[in-house]
Structures are given as structure tokens and as C-alpha cells.
Amino acid sequence: MTKYREFHGAGIPAEGTIVRVDSAVYSFGVTKYPVTVRFKTQDGREITTVDPTEMSVDGVFALRMRTPVPVTVYYNPSNPEQVRIDWSTAAAAPAVTYPAESAQSPADPNDPAVPKQGVIMAASPTGEIASGQGEMNMRVQVTRPDGTRFQADAVQPVPQKALPYTLPGSVVDVYYAPDNEEHITVSFPQHERLAKALAELQTVNEMLSGLSQRHDA
């Protein structure tokens, strides 16, 4: 995960705001979610950067529905883009989960944590780079739980390998709060399933390679 410049030092504290939680990234079998946070350094510079965080899927959706979230961050004084979020100060920590649904109690379709179906109508790059990924402006048609539809724009980073799923007509998952249809988050389930499968395969290959080396020794 070095491309996100994770920071584990003590750092300098600053009051910041979580402004976005992006789609999962996978590395060596570990799932992390790039959390974009904005804050000001002691000398007044405004920094927008990413702290990749391990959290449950439910926690991700709970956090997305509550953004922007005030939070304390600790940044590296020699490189302020290296940050560590103090989750104990967040108004919605990633430990937040939704109650498990039983087979007799199906998920509420109006629950913001339940994805809605969306269709990409148009997409174009913004020219910006966020979380090490190209940012896309996507026009999405979303189907509400009652079957009616609305359109909204989503501006967010998209992994390079997920770009084929931004073509017009592509079916995606969409998350939004029922009282705020203007703010949607697009997820690419096909890409995420493929990325997770490839990460798991990589982990298995590394284990087999390690066993082979020990056997040869």
C-alpha cells in the first residue's frame, strides 16, 4: 500500500474533515478503503490527502452516509500528505456496523447501506488525480426502491482497471441517502469481485512459492 504513503509516526495533530470514502483496493489479501481527508497545517496550508483504512463494508457505507465527518489527523511535518486519522475522534468511526439481517428479515431497500441499481449514462475524466487514481465525472441513472428513477452526477476516483465499467450502459451499484439524492457514490461490483479474486490468487501463489522454496532448501 506504499503508493498511498501510509503514516505510522506520532505526527502533528490537526483538525480535519473526512470528505470522501472511495472504492476498496486490495493488496496481498488485505482490503483497504482510501479515505480522503482535508485539513490545515500549522502554517495555514490546506492539504487534501488519503489515509487507506481497513474497515468493514458496513462501516464504509455508514461513514459514506455521514460525510463530511470532523476528525483529528496526525500529519508528518516533513511531508503533510502523509497522515494518520485518529478514528476515536470521528463522529462515525469505521467500527459502525448495521445489525445482521436474518433470512426471515430481508434488508430494508430504503437503507442507505443497501446498494441501488444504477446505469452509467455518460462519463468523462475531470483531469484531476485523487487517491492515485484518475477522477471521473459520471452521469448515472438510479433506480429507487419503488421503481422510479432519477439522474445524478458522481465525481470520484476510479481505478484504472474499472474504467471499462464507466462506459455508457454499464450497470453499477449506487449508494445514497434517501433525503439527499444529489450526493451519490458509485461502486463497481464486477471490478471489486475480480480484484478480490486476483488478490486471493496472489496470496495463494505466494504461499505455494514459499512452501516450494522451503522444500528445495
Question: Do 44 and 37 touch, CB atoms closer than 8 A?
Answer: no
Considering the domain architecture, whether residues 20 and 82 belong to the same structural domain is answered as: yes
Compute the chain's Rg from CA coordinates. Answer: 19
For residue 101, being part of any structural domain is answered with no
Phi, psi of 147 (to 5 degrees): 95, -15
Residue 8 has pLDDT above 60, yes or no: no
For residue 38, being part of any structural domain is answered with yes
Considering the domain architecture, whether residues 39 and 83 belong to the same structural domain is answered as: yes
At which of 89, 107, 129 does a domain end?
89
As a whole number, mean pLDDT of residues 39-52 equals 89
Top-confidence residue, 209 or 217 = 209
Residue 173 has pLDDT above 50, yes or no: yes
Angle at 155 (CA atoms; ends 153, 156), nearest 5 degrees: 140
For residue 144, being part of any structural domain is answered with yes
For residue 199, being part of any structural domain is answered with no
For residue 30, being part of any structural domain is answered with yes
Top-confidence residue, 197 or 207 = 207
Domain count along the chain: 2
Q: How far apart are CA 58 and CA 163, in angstroms?
A: 25
Residue by residue, DSSP assigns 149-207 as: EEEEEEEEE--GGGGGGGSTT-EEEEEEETTEEEEEEEE-HHHHHHHHHHHHHHHHHHH
At residue 147, the pLDDT reads 87
Considering the domain architecture, whether residues 17 and 85 belong to the same structural domain is answered as: yes
Considering the domain architecture, whether residues 78 and 140 belong to the same structural domain is answered as: no
For residue 210, being part of any structural domain is answered with no
* Domain range for 47: 2-89
For residue 176, being part of any structural domain is answered with yes
Residue 78 has pLDDT above 50, yes or no: yes
Considering the domain architecture, whether residues 8 and 83 belong to the same structural domain is answered as: yes
Q: How confident is the model at residue 149 (pLDDT cuts 50, 70, 90)?
A: very high
At residue 193, the pLDDT reads 59
Whichever domain contains 155, its CATH number is: 2.40.50
Considering the domain architecture, whether residues 121 and 76 belong to the same structural domain is answered as: no
Question: Do 24 and 192 touch, CB atoms closer than 8 A?
Answer: yes
